[in-house]
C-alpha cells in the first residue's frame, strides 16, 4: 500500500509557508489550508498567536475561506488586533458571514475609543449584518447615530449606510430616526435627515442649504466651524454651491459687515476643501485688508498656501506694520506648502518698495516654521 502523508504534517508544512516573506508562498499556503477546511482551525489559532502582521493577514484569508461556524471566533479575535490592517480586514471578514454572533464584538469596537477607521468599518459591518437579517445590529447603530456627542462624520456614515440598505429599513423604523435627526445640533446630520426618507435611499442631499446657512447672519464662530466641517464632508460637490454664494455677494468694495463676514466664511470653506477656485477673490480681499475679517482671510490664505499671495502680504506689512505677526504666520504656511526659498519666483514678484517688509516677514516666518 502507498504511504499517505499525515494531514497534521501537511498542515504544519503549510503553516510554515504561511509565515514566508514571499507573498507567492503565502498565497499558495492559503489555498492549501483552505482545502483542508475546519481541521486547520486549531493549529491555525496556535500559529496566529506568534505570527507577524503579514502572516496574520494570510491567516485571515484562510479563515475567510473556511465555511464553518467555528472560524468566526478566531476572526473576531483578530478584529481586536493591534495592527490596524489586520483588525480592519477581520472586521470585514466578520461582516460577510451573516452570523449574529459577530454583533456584540462589532458593537464593542463601534462604541469604543479606538481608531476612527476601525469604528467606521465596524459601523458598516453592522449595517451589512442588519441587511443580512441580524436585526439586533440596528440598535448599536441607532445609538451612535442619535448620540449628539458622537463624531459627526461617523454619524453621517451610519445614516448613509442605513439609507442604502437592501432590503431597505421599514418606513416605520426609518421615519422616527429621521425625525429625531432633523433636530440634530450638527448641520450636516440635520440636513441629510431632512432631505432623506423612504424612496430616496442613498441619495446625498445638496450642500446648498448648508452654504446658505454658512452665509446667513449672526452665526457664532463655533457654528461657522461646524457648518464648514459639514460642508467639507460633502467634498468637491459642495464647491459649485460655494462659488454661487460668493458670486451672489457682489463686489467687495462697499460691502457691509454681514457680507464681509459671509465672504470670510466662504473663503475658509474653500481653504478647508483645498481648492483655489476663489483665489483671485481672496487675493483681492487681502489687498483691501478689511479689518474685521482679516484674521479669517489670512487663515484661509495660509491653508491654501498659494505663492501668489506673498506680494500681497509684503505690501500689507509695508503699509501696516501691526500686521507683521499675523502675515508671518500665513507666510510660514505658504513657505511650508510651496517649499519656497528666497530665490523663488514668487518672492521676486514683490515690488522693490516692499522688499524691506518682505525681509522682516521672511525672518519672522522662518522662526515660526517647525524645524
Which residue reads 442605513 in cell numbers?
Answer: 162
C-alpha angle 65-71-75 in degrees, rounded to nearest 5: 90
d(CA 317, CA 311) in angstroms, rounded, equals 10
Share of the chain above pLDDT 90, in %: 64
207 pLDDT higher than 80: no
Q: In this predicted structure, what is the pLDDT of residue 220?
A: 84
92 pLDDT higher than 70: yes
Q: In this predicted structure, what is the pLDDT of residue 2?
A: 40
Backbone conformation region of residue 51, classed left if phi is above 0, alpha if psi is from -120 to 50, else beta: beta
d(CA 102, CA 134) in angstroms, rounded, equals 9
For residue 216, report the phi and psi dihedrals to the nearest 5 degrees. Answer: -70, 150
pTM to 2 decimals?
0.69
331 pLDDT higher than 70: yes
340 pLDDT higher than 70: yes
Q: In this predicted structure, what is the pLDDT of residue 7?
A: 67
Judge whether 268 and 296 are in contact, CB under 8 Å.
yes
d(CA 309, CA 302) in angstroms, rounded, equals 9
Q: In this predicted structure, what is the pLDDT of residue 197?
A: 54
Q: In this predicted structure, what is the pLDDT of residue 169?
A: 87
Residue 51: CB atoms within 10 A of its CB come to: 18
pLDDT band at 194, cuts 50/70/90? confident
SS (H, E, C) the chain: CCCCCCHHHHHHHHHHHHCCCCHHHHHHHHHHHHHHHHHHHHHHHHHHHCCCHHHHHHHHHHHHCCCCCCHHHHHHHHCCCCCHHHHHHHHHHHHCCCCCCHHHHHHHHHHCCCCHHHHHHHHHHHHHHHHCCCHHHHHHHHHHHHCCCCCHHHHHHHHHHHHCCCCCCCHHHHHHHHHHHCCCCCHHHHHHHHHCCCCCCCCCCCCHHHHHHHHCCCCCHHHHHHHHHHHHHHCHHHHHHHHHHHHHCCCCCCCCHHHHHHHHHHHHHHHHCCCCCCHHHHHHHHHHCCHHHHHHHHHHHHHHCCHHHHHHHHHHHHHCHHHHHHHHHHHHHHHHHHCCCCCCHHHHCCCHHHHHHHHHHHHHHHHHCCC
Give per-residue pLDDT as tens, 227-262.
999 899 888 889 999 999 999 998 888 889 999 999
- Domain parsing of the chain, residue ranges: 206-277, 305-371
Backbone conformation region of residue 355, classed left if phi is above 0, alpha if psi is from -120 to 50, else beta: alpha
For the segment 199-207, the average pLDDT, to the nearest whole number, is 48
Q: In this predicted structure, what is the pLDDT of residue 142?
A: 94
357 pLDDT higher than 80: yes
Judge whether 174 and 139 are in contact, CB under 8 Å.
no
Judge whether 29 and 58 are in contact, CB under 8 Å.
yes
* Residue 31 in grid coordinates: 489555498
Give per-residue pLDDT as tens, 120-164.
999 999 999 999 889 999 999 999 999 999 999 999 999 989 988
Q: In this predicted structure, what is the pLDDT of residue 193?
A: 87
Query: Which residues, 6+ apart, have CB-to-CB distance to 9 below 8 Å?
Result: none
Q: In this predicted structure, what is the pLDDT of residue 163?
A: 87
d(CA 324, CA 51) in angstroms, rounded, equals 56
Give per-residue pLDDT as tens, 265-313.
999 999 999 999 999 999 999 999 999 999 999 999 999 999 999 999 9
Mean pLDDT (the chain) is: 89
- Mean pLDDT check: name the lowest of 79-83, 202-206, 264-268: 202-206
Amino acid at each position: 500500500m502507498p504511504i499517505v502523508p499525515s494531514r497534521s504534517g501537511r498542515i504544519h508544512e503549510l503553516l510554515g509557508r504561511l509565515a514566508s516573506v514571499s507573498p507567492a508562498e503565502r498565497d499558495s499556503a492559503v489555498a492549501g489550508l483552505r482545502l483542508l477546511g475546519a481541521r486547520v482551525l486549531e493549529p491555525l489559532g496556535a500559529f496566529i498567536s506568534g505570527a507577524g502582521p503579514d502572516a496574520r493577514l494570510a491567516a485571515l484569508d484562510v479563515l475567510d475561506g473556511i465555511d464553518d461556524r467555528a472560524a468566526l471566533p478566531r476572526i473576531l479575535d483578530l478584529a481586536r488586533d493591534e495592527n490596524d490592517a489586520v483588525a480592519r480586514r477581520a472586521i470585514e471578514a466578520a461582516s460577510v458571514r451573516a452570523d449574529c454572533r459577530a454583533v456584540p464584538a462589532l458593537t464593542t469596537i463601534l462604541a469604543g475609543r479606538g481608531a476612527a477607521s476601525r469604528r467606521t468599518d465596524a459601523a458598516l459591518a453592522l449595517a451589512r449584518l442588519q441587511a443580512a437579517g441580524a436585526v439586533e445590529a440596528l440598535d448599536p447603530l441607532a445609538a451612535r447615530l442619535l448620540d449628539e456627542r458622537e463624531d459627526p462624520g461617523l454619524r453621517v456614515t451610519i445614516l448613509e449606510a442605513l439609507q442604502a440598505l437592501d432590503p431597505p429599513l421599514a418606513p416605520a423604523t426609518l421615519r422616527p430616526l429621521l425625525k429625531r435627526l432633523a433636530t440634530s445640533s450638527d448641520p450636516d446630520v440635520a440636513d441629510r435627515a431632512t432631505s432623506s426618507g423612504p424612496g430616496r435611499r442613498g441619495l446625498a442631499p445638496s450642500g446648498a442649504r448648508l452654504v446658505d446657512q454658512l452665509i446667513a447672519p449672526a452665526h457664532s464662530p463655533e457654528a461657522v466651524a461646524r457648518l464648514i466641517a459639514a460642508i467639507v464632508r460633502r467634498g468637491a460637490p459642495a464647491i459649485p454651491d460655494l462659488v454661487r454664494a460668493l458670486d451672489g455677494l457682489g463686489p467687495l468694495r462697499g460691502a457691509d459687515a454681514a457680507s464681509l463676514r459671509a465672504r470670510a466664511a466662504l473663503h475658509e470653506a474653500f481653504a478647508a476643501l483645498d481648492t483655489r477656485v476663489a483665489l483671485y477673490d481672496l487675493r483681492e480681499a487681502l489687498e483691501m485688508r478689511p479689518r474685521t475679517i482679516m484674521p479669517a482671510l489670512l487663515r484661509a490664505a495660509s491653508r491654501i498656501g498659494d505663492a501668489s499671495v506673498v506680494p500681497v502680504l509684503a505690501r500689507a506689512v509695508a503699509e501696516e506694520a501691526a500686521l507683521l505677526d499675523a502675515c508671518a504666520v500665513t507666510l510660514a504656511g505658504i513657505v511650508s506648502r510651496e517649499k519656497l526659498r528666497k530665490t523663488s519666483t514668487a518672492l521676486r514678484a514683490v515690488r522693490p518698495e516692499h522688499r524691506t517688509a518682505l525681509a522682516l516677514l521672511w525672518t519672522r516666518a522662518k522662526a515660526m516654521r517647525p524645524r
